[in-house]
Amino acid sequence: MAATFLAAWVCKKYGRRPSMRAASLFFLGGVALTAAAVNLPMLIIGRILVGLGIRFANQVLQSILHVGLLLGYQIIR
């Protein structure tokens, strides 16, 4: 839940491209850690990183869809 607010703040302050890069790094780190997990804490931390990546990617997608919907509405008018 807190990752959503962090992702929104990063997306607003730095833009979509750095937010997508952060999402990619979280995904990559989370998947690598989850795949290499030899104990439960490693697995949990990997899953948390994947969840952060999902939140960041979701926030960027929402901003892209919002702009697309507004643009489509303006073209139709």
pTM, entire model? 0.73
> What is the span of the domain harbouring residue 32?
2-76
What's the total number of domains in the chain? Answer: 1
The model's pLDDT over 20-72, given as tens digits with 9 standing for 90+, comes to 888 899 999 999 999 999 999 999 999 999 998 988 888 777 777 766 666 66
The model's pLDDT over 40-54, given as tens digits with 9 standing for 90+, comes to 999 999 999 999 898
CA distance 17 to 26: 14
- Measured distance between the N- and C-terminal CA atoms of the chain, rounded to whole angstroms: 37
